[in-house]
Amino acid sequence: MDFEKPIHLEELDSDEISTPPTPDLNRKVDRRILPFVALTYLLCYLDRSNIGNAKVLNSDASDDLMHSIGMTDQQYRVALMLFLVAYSIFEAPSNLAMKIFSPPVWLGFLVASFGALCAGIGGSKNVQTLMALRFLLGAAEAGTFPGMIFYLSFWYGPRERAIRIAVFLCSATLAGAFGGAIAYGVGHMNQVGGLNAWRWLFILEGLPCILVAIAIFFFLPSYPENAKWLTDEEKEILRSSFGENIPRGEDKLSWQDAKETLQEPRLWLHYLTYLCMGIGVSSLSLFAPTIVEGIGYTGLTAQLFTIPPYACAYVVTLCAAYASDRYMCRGLIAAGFCLLGVITFLIPACVSTPSLHLRYAMLVLCTCSVFGSLPSLCAWVSDNVRTTTAGSIASGLNVAFSGPGQIIGVWIYESQQAPRYQLGHAVNAASQFVGMVLALGLWLHYRRLNSRLGPGETRWIA
């Protein structure tokens, strides 16, 4: 497998030349797949980020997570970091396990596991138990996001993939919005049944995962070639939409392809770009309630004001993904959102006495910038690999590299720096700048490769 060798269309069978499926066929596949992946990631993101809501939930009555189990700010950050350490370690292996066990079996197992662990956190009596459960939660959730990206690569060609990734990726922004709303409601359950509201939060957001896991196991399709609800003609149309990048469910893992994938420098630039995005995703997801409280909103009102940034990011991310697919442009769109992030993170950090409204507006735009680039970056790394093994490893490593970035995000927002949060905003601005430079570099690299191609040679996606 030569990553830089162009493929000649005349060397391909006619059914290997990329042709888009009909809208009716896409909708048929969407109905079977997208509800599962969107709901799965919404629950996944709720269960990983609800600790940020629990940290300040009913803090005015000293019934929040921190006071209830005697957790210090340092221990809280260690608990966040342990999740991300496990998340980084287990992402790529989990993707390989999905190929071995099949998507419905492995995804169902992961969803049931992280739901049970999330509910278990609600029963934590001490800091050590919470830390151990957070580590296990990270291991269980590690394979969910890269696994679904890998899974969608079997069902959608490059021209349909980013918007589908955005559909389930936007579940993270919905989870951020719902998380604030749910926390606001659950906050009124404080001491119901003798339990703190933060305990109810973990329990009520963990248990639905068990039901979803059962539905995934029995109803999620595995691969197009095994789908009895598709005709042979429809299967062939789906296959032709991939061009030279044709993943098949029956393909076996190739260790030679794996070795070459790991040695490809171009892909490592993709991973580093995604690492930069992980800093913003982590810091905003885990500290949005704290940031909102620090800039002037207090009590349960702070939970409500975490909703608009994610609601806006939901719309912006979907629009960005649509444009990314419509114009087959990954790098420039990702770089544009990174530039927006640089500006909107720097303003509240540099202005000494910004108004509450300005600080909050910048938080909304920061959230849009961080999430807006993700669909393009996730689809991009899968667009330019050629085999099932390469797709499995590349998509897994791409998301795994967000782990170190997310670990950085755990440590950069300090409560004593409210409301400016100079360190957190400055680190995020710097990471967005580096991400912008890397995305532009990859965009130029692919355009340079395409400029060297002759007539009939398959182009790289820039």
Q: How many CB atoms within 10 Å of residue 246?
A: 20
Could you tell me which of 372, 400, 96, 161 has the C-alpha nearest to residue 274?
A: 400
For tokens 């992030």, the residue is 341
The 3-state DSSP class for residue 414 equals: coil
Q: Give the three-state DSSP class for 8.
A: strand
Using CA atoms, how far residue 368 sits from 98, 162, 298, 338, 362, in Å, is: 31, 17, 23, 10, 10
**Using an 8 Å Cβ cutoff, are 355 and 146 in contact?**
no
- Which positions ≥6 away from 361 have C-beta within 8 Å? none
Q: Report the pLDDT value the prediction gives residue 237, as an integer from 0 to 100.
A: 83
How many residues are present in the chain? Answer: 462
Pick among 1.20.120.1200, 1.20.1250.20, 3.40.190.10, 1.10.1740.10: CATH of 19-224+231-242+256-451: 1.20.1250.20
pTM of the complete model: 0.77
CA angle, 162 as apex, 97 and 218 as ends, to 5°? 45
What's residue 14's pLDDT? 35
What φ, ψ does residue 7 adopt, rounded to 5°?
-105, 130
My answer on whether omega of the bond before 419 falls inside 30° of 0, hence cis, is yes
Give the burial class of 156: count Cβ atoms within 10 A of its Cβ; 0-12 exposed, 13-18 middle, 19 or more buried. buried
pLDDT confidence of residue 270:
96
So what's the pLDDT on residue 203? 96
* pLDDT value at residue 400: 80
Residue type for position 353:
T
Written as one string, the DSSP assignment of 75-141 is HHHHHHHHHHHHHHHHHHHHHHHHHHH-HHHHHHHHHHHHHHHHHHHTT--SHHHHHHHHHHHHHHH
Distance CA 371, CA 399 (A): 14
Residue pair 99/253 in contact by the 8 Å Cβ criterion: yes
Can you give the pLDDT of all 462 residues of the chain as single tens digits?
A: 444 444 333 333 333 335 567 788 989 999 999 999 999 999 998 999 899 889 988 888 889 999 999 999 999 999 999 998 998 888 878 878 887 888 999 999 999 999 999 999 999 999 999 999 999 999 999 989 888 888 888 888 777 888 888 888 888 788 878 888 898 899 999 989 999 999 999 999 999 999 999 999 999 999 888 889 999 898 888 877 665 544 555 555 677 878 888 899 999 999 999 999 999 998 998 788 888 888 877 767 777 888 899 889 989 999 999 999 888 899 999 999 999 999 999 999 988 766 788 889 999 999 999 999 999 998 898 888 877 778 778 877 888 888 889 899 989 998 889 888 999 999 999 999 999 999 999 999 999 999 998 887 778 888
Neighbours of 171 (CB within 10 A): 22
The two tokens of residue 208 are 């639905």
pLDDT at 19: 58
Q: Residue 313: its pLDDT value, please? A: 92
In terms of Cβ atoms closer than 10 Å to its own Cβ (0-12, 13-18, 19+), residue 72 is: exposed
pLDDT at position 221, please? 93
Residue the block writes with tokens 């957070």: 134
Three-state secondary structure call for residue 457: strand
- How many angstroms separate the CA atoms of 91 and 439, rounded? 23
